[in-house]
Structure 1
Amino acid sequence: MGAEGSKHEKKLYFSDEENQLLLQTLSKIDNNGEKVSTSSLQYTETVIEFFEKGVTQKTCWKTSSDTVKTQIAFALLHDLFYPNEAIKKIWGKGPPHPPVLISLEAFERWWLGHCIFSKLEMEMFKHLFKFSPAGETSLLPEATQLPKVSPTMLSAAQVMFLNGALPVNLQSKWRFLFSTSKHGWSFSIFMKQIVSKGPTIFVVEDQSGGKFGGFASVSWEVRPQFHGTPDCFLFSLQPQAGIFHTTGYNNNFMYLNYLEKNTMPNGFGMGGREELFGLWLDYDFGKGLVAPTCTTFASPQLSQHQELEISSIEVWALGPEEEDSDEEEGTRKKKSALDKNPDARAMLDMMGKVAVSDGYREEDNDD
């Protein structure tokens, strides 16, 4: 598309005709044709609906409710409705009322900075007109290592929204690691499933139906100190969708601890500090906390309740799986008594202790 100057001699990426067409799909242009009124989310919701119709039958991700489609549509349009406003500052607000007027130049900046929206439109057109463009890239990751009954509590639109915020090299594959519906409510099993598995994304649902969580950019480690990198983020999906990136204020990204003889708390957290974590899951599994605000991630209070009663948890590993050298060599370890007690085994593994009974394993009768 060629660049043409407006009557104010500002260079635009789209031609006047292209800009008019794009603007009309989203909003209503005023009389002089220079500005657009952000009066409705309907078009964006429709795009998401057609996107899901084209993908949900081919994947494990479920279809969104109308409420979820509205939440994701509003999150995608945030920078258009509230340019240069931090998400935290306008958290809890809906689209501007009365509708604001936005210049063509501002609209163009938003459009070019949100390639996910143009990809969504392409998915809609593919579904409507049954074609597959050359070099297409999927907005959804491939889901692998799923149990027989799909564990996911995420819709396709929610996965698309989260996946678009991840580093590009982690967007192609999600590997199921843990869910309370499959693994139960054991903190030690939870740790064993997520430690040393590479980058992960976890989702929590609380007692009021809120959904939120975080992206951990490196493997989880059990130790009484924070770790991680500035690529980590917290997010909310319900009752409002938003991504909360690091602020640079501190390096308190990831925390996982379950050691008896130390003064630091036992549990799982991201952001903030002791007693004021942005998101905290207690070692007494099923309980947690969220802080009213989080300096690490510039996030608001993620749940309606500061004290959480957790309904479900789900964790996915991102990117390719690390190879298991034992499996590659075709070797199999014999069973010990600890194999019959996964909680005890998990705790020893997390604490770096050697299992003495490994030297006294039972004969393997599986053969």
Structure 2
Amino acid sequence: MGNEHSNKKQGSGSLKKNLSRKIKPEDVKKIKSLTNGKDVLTKVEVFELWSMEIKDSLINFYLKYYFPDKTEKIDLSTFISLYYELDGSNIDRKVEILLCFIGSYGDLINYVQALLNSCLFIYQSRDDKELWSSLNIDSDKGSLIVYANYLCMGDCNNEITFDSLQKWLSTTHEIAYLHKYVLSHMFGFNTSQRIIPTPVYNPSFTMSILDYSHIMFLNLNLMPEFQKQWRLLFSSQFQGESFTRLMACAINQGPLLVLVKDDKSNIFGAYASTNLTLCPKFYGDQNSFLFTLKPDMKVFNSSGFNENFIYLNSNQQTLPNGLGFGGQFEYWGLWIDSEYGQGECNKTCSTFKDYQMLSHDKHFKIMHIELWGVGIPPPTAEEKGERSVLDADPTASALLELAGKTKHSAGLREPDIELEN
């Protein structure tokens, strides 16, 4: 297919003549209000229009599309074509636009960095940004570069062609999400998408090992219904170094993220896509995955080879006691031992595709653990009018007693926090 396309930059003039979808009258009205009624825009006017909305570095990329060669002015159809095509479903048209300002792998890296920076810039206007700030979350430039490199790795190399960009867009689902988020903001269109979720946590918690790039990376790997809200269920710094307490905070909380920082400052973890329960066997589904955040960002999805996604057990004589993800007994993708502070990752794990050892060393010391519940927690047995799981499972009940909690399943939702609808 690549032989049928020229890499020559077509510019906005030729592309806008045949938009892949018709411009809606209501969109024209919205755009006119954005441009203060102007039907024609200069380069300076476009720059000033967006200078307070997104980062200058991203604006400069889009100006290359709008004003190729000696183009001095553009009409409204050309102006809106960027939104209609990059947020559309026609990948070929997206590639044609990207080729207007991406000619090398370096351009691609810089473009994705500008896109990510603009996402964070937009996020700063949100009311809930202070909630993350209270956890000392920051925008680490090095981490953002690592994330951009992750998004650009794979099929693209130093030679940017129509085919390479087409394959990149087809296999990197995050780019469409980032485009929609940024472009909707630029053009004044509403979107329900969330790059950064709203955090819910006990006010006594004042730190997290995450930064904004980590949060974006993880959130865009979750299903949409889990992207709006995260709940900090456990932090070893504030709730103590106790595996029993960790379990009590994790059980029956719905899907959650497990974050580990080891003694070499690597940060990695697992996503449990199903409810955590005590069980002598593996359970879970193919939506679970392993990941690394530092020093590199990578995600390892289900390989389909087996279904050994999650294992959680305690106080057993003949079975492993701890929390495990992937692999098999004694050969885990990630293992957190019930003897708090000890962890293990193996060099291979058939449960997850293209797996690489998460930790620096096979056996590692745990310096910090966080559990984040994603989305709204599932209803308790009492809320569903059923028998409490704690009454049915004496072991789970005993764990709560050891953790210092009352024998009510609602107590599993510690810390006591108000949830967003």
Tell me whether the two structures share a fold, i.e. TM-score over 0.5: yes
2:98 matched to which residue of 1?
A: 22
Matches within 5 A, 1:31-110: 37-40=104-107, 41-56=109-124, 58-59=128-129, 60-61=131-132, 62-81=137-156, 99=158, 101-110=159-168
Change in CA separation of 1:286 and 1:211 when aligned onto 2, cut-off 3 Å? same
Paired with 1:228 and 1:108, the residues of 2 have a C-alpha distance of 34
Give me the whole-angstrom Cα distance separating, in 2, the residues matched to 1:250 and 1:136: 35
Which among 223, 228, 244 is matched to residue 188 of structure 1?
244
Kindly indicate whether the alpha-carbon contact (under 8 Å) linking 1:71 and 1:240 is maintained by their aligned counterparts in 2. yes
Match of 1:293, SS state, is: coil
Q: Which is strand-richer, 1 or 2?
A: 1
Kindly tell me: are residues 20 and 63 of structure 1, through their superposed partners in 2, closer, same or farther at Cα, counting changes over 3 Å?
A: farther
- Note closer, same or farther for the CA distance 1:65–1:248 as it changes in structure 2 (3 Å cut): same
Q: Specify the alignment match of 1:270 in structure 2.
A: 325
- CA spacing shift, 1:346–1:199, aligned 2, 3 Å: farther
Distance in 2, Cα, partners of 1:220 & 1:172: 21
Residue type of the alignment partner of 1:49: N
Residue 316 of structure 1: aligned partner: 372
User: Which shows bigger deviation, 234-243 or 217-226?
Assistant: 217-226
Which segment drifts farther, 295-304 or 186-195?
Answer: 295-304
Aligned twin of 2:417: none
- TM-score of the superposed pair, with normalisation by structure 2: 0.64
CA gap 1:248/1:45 in 2 versus in 1, 3 angstroms: same
DSSP 3-state at the match of 2:324: strand
Structure 2 residue aligned with 1:197: 253
Question: Where in structure 2 are there 5+ consecutive unaligned residues?
Answer: 8-19, 21-88, 386-397, 409-421
Give the conservation status (yes or no) of the 8 Å contact 2:283–2:308.
yes
Normalising by the residue count of structure 1, what TM-score does the alignment of the two structures yield? 0.73
Which is further off, 164-173 or 280-289? 164-173
Percent sequence identity is 27
Name 1:117's counterpart in structure 2. 175
> What residue in structure 1 maps to residue 190 of structure 2?
134
Contact 1:151 1:182 (8 Å CA) reproduced: no
Task: Write the letter of the residue equivalent to 2:90.
Answer: Y
| Cα distance, 1:15–1:45 mapped onto 2, change above 3 Å | closer
2:210 is the alignment partner of 1:154 = yes
User: Pairwise mapping of residues 153-302 of structure 1 onto structure 2 (< 5 A)?
Assistant: 153-260=209-316, 262-298=317-353, 299-302=355-358
Q: 1:7 to 1:192 in 2, by over 3 A?
A: closer
Q: Distance in 2 between matches of 1:317 and 1:258?
A: 21
Structure 1: runs of 5 or more not aligned = 29-36, 82-95, 330-341, 356-367
Cα 1:115–1:193, aligned 2, differ >3 Å: closer, same or farther? same
Asked if 1 retains the 8 angstrom alpha-carbon contact of 2:140 and 2:212, the reply is: no
CA-based RMSD of the aligned residues comes to: 3.2
Aligned-partner SS, 1:310:
strand
| CA positional deviation for 1:346 | 3.9
1:324 CA displacement: 4.8
TM-superposition CA deviations, 1:15-70 (whole Å, max 9, x none) = 77x64541344x32xxxxxxxx3135222222222322332574244233222111
- Give the Cα–Cα distance (whole angstroms) in 2 for the partners of residues 207 and 255 of structure 1: 24
Q: Where is the helix percentage greater, Structure 1 or Structure 2?
A: 2
State the shift of 1:166 in Å: 1.3
Distance 1:150-1:122 versus aligned 2 partners, 3 A rule: farther
What is the distance in 1 between the residues matched to 2:119 and 2:331? Answer: 39
Report runs of 4+ in structure 1 exceeding 6 Å deviation.
325-329
Q: Quote the offset at 1:256 in angstroms.
A: 0.9
CA positional deviation for 1:327: 8.6
Deviation at 1:122, TM superposition (A): 5.3
Q: Could you tell me how far apart the structure 2 residues matched to 1:348 and 1:69 are?
A: 40
Distance in 1, matches of 2:286 and 2:177, equals 27
Q: Structure 1 148/107 Cα, relative in aligned 2: closer, same or farther at 3 Å?
A: same
Q: What letter is aligned with 2:216?
A: M
TM-superposition CA deviations, 1:88-113 (whole Å, max 9, x none): xxxxxxxx5xx2x2431331242255
Tell me the secondary structure at the aligned position of residue 224 of structure 1: strand
Asked if the contact 2:270–2:291 (Cα under 8 Å) also holds between the matched residues in 1, the reply is yes
Where 1:303 maps in the other structure, the secondary structure is coil
Q: 1:201 to 1:56 in 2, by over 3 A?
A: farther
User: Aligned letter for 1:45?
Assistant: Q
Does the CA contact (< 8 Å) of 2:150 and 2:298 recur in 1? yes
Partner Cα distance (2:92, 2:116) in 1? 26
Q: Deviations over 1:310-367 (max 9, x none)?
A: 11111111221234576999xxxxxxxxxxxx96714799xxxx99xxxxxxxxxxxx
In structure 1, which of residues 2, 13, 23 is the aligned counterpart of residue 90 of structure 2? Answer: 13
